[in-house]
């Protein structure tokens, strides 16, 4: 794509964003929505539309070369990202469910489920590429040093006599076996040649007859091949046979696209360097050429103001303080008399402020007491809280999206760039930006000079000495905040990092991305809900939640400061469903550090109460210094398990569980640290303390038919297998119904050995090759699925969701998961008794 295509895509995104702003900030206030379903539909539609805008903006920011355009796109991109997180949080507060389905909205907007996939911005890693590379180099050096320390100094290893004899015997038997095999092969070849000579005899065939026989067999082979090809094409067209998958047919095209994108990123870096150099050069040039004139003009204007003020009030005015804006206060759209009156009023208020403070405080306290007494007697009416739902205001919309959209509409939308084919920076914009900076810098210098000049004028003409004003420091009542005590004040971050690596707390995650996590969509969840059943989430839903909970909030500093904060994330599901894969994908997409503080991992190094305290301090100090950071606990259900097994007690997991809530309170907005727990059996732990530490949860189900079919189709070619019509993939997807994604992956790796791949030309793959491997693995039984569902209903979010569904069916309550307690007979009786007592 050329820069024209990306400009058109940016234009489309901005037009869609303007439509969203019309919904977000209407000209007239929107009436509160009393129907919770209609309100949820509005928020869900906005979420889907923001996802489409986010996809376009992310691609534009990644590929647009113009440095000034990229800065504006970045602001809108971060605002759109933050608004997505806010809308997701709003949907959760409405129906108390982590998973939401938009199939009806997609049908109305004529979109496909693939359009709902949330991309991960590339700038999360690319803009920190040097820091990540430096950290990886340091980590590699420490790990290499660890391996060298574990080896013996001389590098030699001792072997027992029995092992040496066993190795010699093995090699000798292999040598003898090869010799015998060669002898037998030679004997067979000799026998075969002797039989051929006996059958042929001395008679020779005519050349014409021999050629005719060869032609007959060859033509028959060609016709059979063409007929088979025609039949296979017809079956594939009718959907009766699967196409043959070798390697990715679009692999070459994808490689060309990636090469083109990398080339554009190199151009981005080149244009950015030129832009930064121009900023410095333009500033210096403006300061040298226009600076003296600016300074002289400002001085003349301020002197003229002195004269006008003296003519009006017969004395020189007071110069505004720098905190109040300095000379900018003078040049506001006010008359000389108004400016002088403002300054005098300010001086009078400063004098009276000390006297009136005490009286004002006493009056406030009395009013507060009266207000409290009055509030006790009043009771809320039934309809006071049920006014309806209104769309909450967003700082992302008002502070980031709206100003950037206005800048685009006022400047870039109508700008002609036909002459700027290379998409270099715009020098006129640079001059305007730097001119305003230079003006401000010169203004500060001129203000200091003019204050001295005004002081001299007052002393000479008005014959008054300016009294030195003592700046009264405003005493602010500071709330005492609990700060984490630094247990390692004399140590550097590098030394602490090395210690954590040596103790195997900081580990290197495998190279996995979120796109490697394979999952299909749920295409008909609305029909399932119409049948009064709650649809099970799919792998695609879990993938989307991983992006919304684990990646997008931590990727951008500005987004993390404003967006709803998520400190803990629980990933649970049966064995082999991809929990660790999602964890590693989060780390790689962010370029984050991975800390493993599982009880088994920290048992030997950080024991007892003091050890846990030191570990949490190190994780906090190093994690905040090298953020973003992912802190991971495996088998986290054991931290709150009621009855531990003897082999589990030795690791003392409950000690870590008690320390986590206090440690999470030390994580403030701006600290890009996320605690991730992984468990196969969440129902073994106590629900309340576990969900207090992990308020957000991603429940991974066993893969449904669509995901299983996609797994077989994707993984077999990945490991050099060929899917031919003889391999019935649909049957494999049905047979692997109760198996997890990990079971399917391990079976494919086990079957597609080098020996089997060598035989594939003569013996194509069949479904029976994989059935044996699947049969040796333990499936996911219904009892386990039922346990997960019942556990989910016991969680705080699950309870509220069940109550919400009950109210939706019965039509009672406010539709927010809270029952109307005023309607019960017992409530009325209690109120009646209270009323009698008062009488």
DSSP state letters, 775-807: HTS----HHHHHHHHHHHHHSHHHHHHHHHHHH
pLDDT at 819: 45
For residue 612, tell me if it sits in a domain. Answer: yes
Let me know if 201 is exposed, middle or buried by CB neighbors in 10 A (0-12, 13-18, 19+).
exposed
For residue 729, tell me if it sits in a domain. Answer: yes
Q: Considering only CA atoms, which of 44, 54, 39 is closest in space to residue 552?
A: 54
In a shared domain, residues 775 and 789: yes
The domain containing residue 78 runs over which residues?
Answer: 3-124+397-415
Q: How far apart are CA 383 and CA 432, in angstroms?
A: 55
- Within 8 A by CB and 6+ apart from 804, the residues are 95, 96, 815, 816, 817
In a shared domain, residues 596 and 670: yes
Report, as an integer, the average pLDDT of 411-418. Answer: 82
pLDDT at 467: 47
Whether the pLDDT of residue 466 is over 70: the answer is no
In a shared domain, residues 696 and 568: yes
Six-digit token pair at 606?
A: 């950080």
Three-state DSSP state, 333: coil
Report, as an integer, the average pLDDT of 607-613. Answer: 82
In a shared domain, residues 715 and 657: no
Asked which of 80-94, 408-422, 539-553 is least confident by mean pLDDT, the reply is 408-422
Reported as a single tens digit per residue, the pLDDT across 630-666 is 999 988 988 888 888 888 888 888 888 888 888 888 8
pLDDT at 376: 41
Confidence class for position 463, pLDDT limits 50, 70, 90: low
CATH of the domain at 634: 3.40.50.300
pLDDT at 87: 93
Confidence class for position 332, pLDDT limits 50, 70, 90: low
Six-digit token pair at 192?
A: 């075969």
Whether the pLDDT of residue 369 is over 50: the answer is no
In a shared domain, residues 548 and 679: yes
Task: Among 662, 683, 701, identify where a domain stops.
Answer: 701
Per DSSP bridges, beta strands 568-572 and 506-507 are unpaired
In a shared domain, residues 649 and 668: yes
Q: How far apart are CA 15 and CA 76, in angstroms?
A: 13
Query: Of 360 and 520, which is predicted with more confidence?
Result: 520
In a shared domain, residues 553 and 676: yes
Whether the pLDDT of residue 378 is over 60: the answer is no
In a shared domain, residues 651 and 694: yes
Number of folded domains that form the chain: 3
For residue 183, tell me if it sits in a domain. Answer: no
Dihedral, 543, 546, 549, 550 alpha carbons, nearest 10:
-160
For residue 431, tell me if it sits in a domain. Answer: no
Let me know if 415 is exposed, middle or buried by CB neighbors in 10 A (0-12, 13-18, 19+).
exposed
**DSSP conformational letter for 539:** H
For residue 85, tell me if it sits in a domain. Answer: yes
Task: Among 644, 667, 701, identify where a domain stops.
Answer: 701
In a shared domain, residues 782 and 713: yes
Q: Considering only CA atoms, which of 540, 595, 589, 586 is closest in space to residue 566?
A: 586
R_g of the chain computed on alpha carbons: 37
For residue 657, tell me if it sits in a domain. Answer: yes
Six-digit token pair at 174?
A: 């292999």
For residue 504, tell me if it sits in a domain. Answer: yes
Q: How far apart are CA 778 and CA 370, in angstroms?
A: 70
Whether the pLDDT of residue 368 is over 50: the answer is no
In a shared domain, residues 628 and 499: yes
Mean pLDDT of the chain: 81
Q: How far apart are CA 209 and CA 180, in angstroms?
A: 42
β-strand partners of 676: 569, 632
Reported as a single tens digit per residue, the pLDDT across 138-189 is 888 888 887 766 554 555 567 888 889 999 999 999 999 999 999 999 999 9
For residue 84, tell me if it sits in a domain. Answer: yes
pLDDT at 481: 52
In a shared domain, residues 509 and 583: yes
- Tell me the CB-side half-sphere exposure of residue 711, using CA atoms within 13 A: 30
pLDDT at 345: 65
Q: How far apart are CA 402 and CA 382, in angstroms?
A: 38
Six-digit token pair at 803?
A: 């109550």
In a shared domain, residues 629 and 652: yes
Q: How far is CA 740 from CA 149, 355, 718, in A?
A: 40, 76, 18
Reported as a single tens digit per residue, the pLDDT across 346-358 is 556 655 544 444 4
Reported as a single tens digit per residue, the pLDDT across 667-710 is 888 889 999 999 998 988 888 889 999 999 999 988 999 899 99
CATH of the domain at 768: 1.10.8.60
Task: Among 637, 668, 701, identify where a domain stops.
Answer: 701
């Amino acid at each position: 794509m050329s820069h024209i295509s990306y400009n058109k895509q940016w234009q489309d995104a901005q037009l869609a964003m303007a439509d969203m702003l019309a919904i977000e900030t209407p000209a007239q206030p929107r009436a509160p929505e009393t129907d919770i379903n209609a309100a949820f539909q509005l928020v869900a539609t906005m979420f889907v539309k923001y996802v489409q805008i986010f996809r376009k903006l992310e691609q534009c920011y990644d590929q647009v070369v113009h440095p000034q355009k990229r800065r504006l796109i970045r602001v809108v991109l971060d605002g759109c990202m933050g608004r997505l997180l806010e809308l997701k949080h709003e949907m959760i507060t409405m129906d108390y469910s982590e998973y939401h389905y938009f199939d009806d909205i997609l049908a109305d907007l004529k979109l496909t489920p693939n359009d709902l996939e949330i991309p991960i911005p590339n700038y999360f890693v690319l803009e920190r590429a040097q820091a990540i590379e430096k950290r990886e180099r340091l980590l590699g050096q420490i790990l290499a040093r660890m391996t060298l320390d574990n080896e013996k100094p001389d590098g030699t290893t001792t072997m027992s006599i029995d092992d040496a004899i066993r190795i010699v015997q093995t090699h000798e038997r292999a040598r003898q076996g090869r010799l015998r095999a060669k002898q037998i092969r030679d004997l067979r070849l000799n026998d075969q040649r002797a039989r051929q000579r006996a059958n042929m005899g001395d008679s020779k065939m005519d050349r014409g007859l021999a050629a005719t026989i060869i032609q007959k067999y060859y033509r028959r082979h060609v016709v059979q091949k063409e007929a088979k090809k025609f039949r296979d094409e017809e079956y594939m067209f009718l959907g009766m046979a699967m196409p043959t998958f070798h390697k990715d047919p679009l692999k070459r095209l994808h490689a060309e696209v990636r090469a083109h994108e990398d080339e554009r990123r190199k151009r981005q870096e080149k244009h950015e360097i030129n832009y930064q150099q121009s900023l410095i050069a333009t500033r210096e040039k403006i300061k040298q050429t226009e600076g003296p004139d600016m300074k002289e003009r400002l001085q003349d204007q301020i002197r003229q103001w002195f004269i006008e003020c003296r003519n009006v009030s017969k004395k020189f005015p007071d110069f505004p303080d720098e905190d109040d804006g300095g000379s900018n206060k003078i040049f506001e759209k006010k008359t000389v008399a108004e400016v002088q009156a403002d300054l005098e009023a300010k001086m009078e208020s400063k004098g009276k402020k000390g006297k009136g403070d005490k009286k004002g405080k006493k009056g406030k306290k009395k009013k507060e007491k009266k207000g409290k007494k009055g509030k006790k007697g009043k009771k809320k009416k039934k309809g006071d809280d049920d006014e309806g739902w209104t769309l909450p205001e967003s700082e992302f919309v008002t502070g980031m999206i709206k100003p950037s959209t206005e800048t685009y509409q006022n400047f870039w939308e109508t700008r002609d760039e036909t002459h700027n084919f290379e998409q270099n920076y715009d020098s006129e914009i640079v001059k305007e930006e730097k001119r305003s900076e230079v003006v401000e810098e010169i203004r500060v210098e001129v203000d200091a000079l003019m204050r001295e000049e005004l002081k001299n004028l007052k002393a000479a003409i008005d014959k008054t000495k300016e009294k030195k004003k003592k700046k009264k420091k405003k005493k602010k009542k500071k709330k005492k905040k609990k700060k984490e005590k630094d247990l390692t004040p004399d140590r550097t971050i590098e030394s602490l990092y090395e210690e954590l690596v040596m103790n195997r707390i900081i580990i290197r995650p495998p190279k996995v991305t979120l796109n490697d996590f394979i999952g299909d969509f749920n295409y008909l969840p609305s029909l399932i809900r119409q049948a009064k059943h709650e649809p099970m989430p799919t792998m695609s839903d879990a993938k989307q939640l991983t992006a919304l909970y684990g990646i997008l909030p931590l990727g951008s500093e500005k987004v993390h400061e404003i967006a709803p904060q998520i400190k803990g994330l629980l990933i649970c599901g049966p064995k082999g469903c991809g929990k660790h894969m999602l964890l590693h994908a989060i780390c790689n997409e962010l370029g984050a550090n991975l800390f493993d503080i599982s009880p088994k991992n920290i048992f030997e190094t950080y024991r007892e109460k003091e050890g846990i305290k030191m570990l949490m301090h190190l994780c906090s100090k190093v994690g905040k210094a090298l953020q973003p950071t992912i802190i991971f606990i495996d088998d986290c259900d054991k931290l709150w398990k009621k009855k531990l097994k003897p082999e589990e007690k030795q690791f003392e997991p409950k000690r870590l569980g008690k320390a986590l809530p206090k440690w999470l309170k030390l994580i403030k907005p701006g600290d890009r640290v996320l605690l991730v727990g992984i468990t196969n059996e969440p129902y073994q732990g106590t629900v309340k303390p576990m969900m207090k530490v992990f308020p957000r949860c991603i429940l991974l189900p066993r893969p449904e038919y669509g995901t299983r079919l996609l797994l077989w189709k994707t993984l077999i070619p990945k490991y050099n297998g060929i899917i031919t019509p003889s391999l019935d993939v649909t049957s494999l997807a049905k047979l692997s119904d109760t198996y997890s994604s990990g079971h399917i992956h391990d079976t494919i790796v086990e079957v597609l050995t080098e020996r089997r791949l060598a035989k594939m030309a003569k013996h194509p793959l069949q479904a029976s090759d994989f059935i044996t491997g699947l049969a040796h693995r333990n499936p996911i039984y219904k009892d386990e699925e039922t346990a997960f569902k019942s556990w989910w209903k016991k969680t705080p979010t699950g309870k509220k969701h069940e109550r919400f569904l009950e109210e939706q069916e019965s039509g009672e309550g406010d539709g927010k998961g809270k029952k109307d307690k005023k309607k019960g007979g017992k409530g009325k009786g209690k109120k009646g008794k209270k009323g009698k007592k008062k009488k």
